[in-house]
Amino acid sequence: MPFPDSFATSRLEAERLTAEHLAEVRRMDSDPDFMAMLGGVRDAAGTAAYLARNLRHWDDYGFGLWMLRDALSQRFAGRAVLRHLLLDGTDEVEVGYGFYPEFWGRGLATEIAAACLQFGRQELRLGSMVALTRTDNVRSQRVMTRVGLVFERELTFERLPHVLFRSRPPSSAAPAAPWIGLPSSNPTGA
């Protein structure tokens, strides 16, 4: 059975990334608040490369990035991802998400992160998945803890300080650590 191209949670509709999403991805990549904890605003060439990389991931692995719509308004709300990530020489599968500021503080990141973790466990049969965030992205760290990810370590990723959280199979999941990074003066879309 192929991995789902689309799915819905109680408040979000997720659709597989396609080339037709270029304008919306560009809008996200141009939004300084959306991109504040995702590496910063990208130029048009950076967006094109990001889109191509994520389209290729779907072609190569059969899963990847989804564009998220608010189920009620049908407006784009953000994006979510399950994708391979080479981390310190190890191939991992990353759970990730980002939302426009008007969708922050509603629990949507928790909702979509939990759905992605469930797909990773049930559809991909993964024993472990990772999530990364900047050390000052406290809101995203709380989301990770809420969905059962456990703080593993600090690391440098793309030349910035990050923290790595990891999922464990439900039978071996350790209780979530209360570790939360430094207070953020620049909240994210998580």
Read off the pTM. 0.85
Classify domain 6-172 by CATH number: 3.40.630.30
Distance CA 114, CA 94 (A): 13
Give me the helix-helix angle, 44-61 and 22-30, nearest 10°: 130
**Domain spans of the chain, in order of start:** 6-172
- 114: tokens are 């939990």
| Structure-token pair, residue 164 | 């790595």
User: In this structure, what token pair is assigned to residue 92?
Assistant: 């991992």
Per-residue pLDDT in tens (0 to 9) along the chain, 190 residues: 567 889 999 999 999 999 999 999 999 999 989 888 788 889 999 999 999 999 999 999 999 999 999 999 999 999 999 999 999 899 999 999 999 999 999 999 999 999 999 999 999 999 999 999 999 999 999 999 999 999 999 999 888 899 999 997 655 444 433 333 333 333 333 3
Q: Are 95 and 129 in contact (CB under 8 A)?
A: yes
Rounded to an integer, what distance in angstroms lies between the CA atom of residue 63 and that of residue 57? Answer: 7
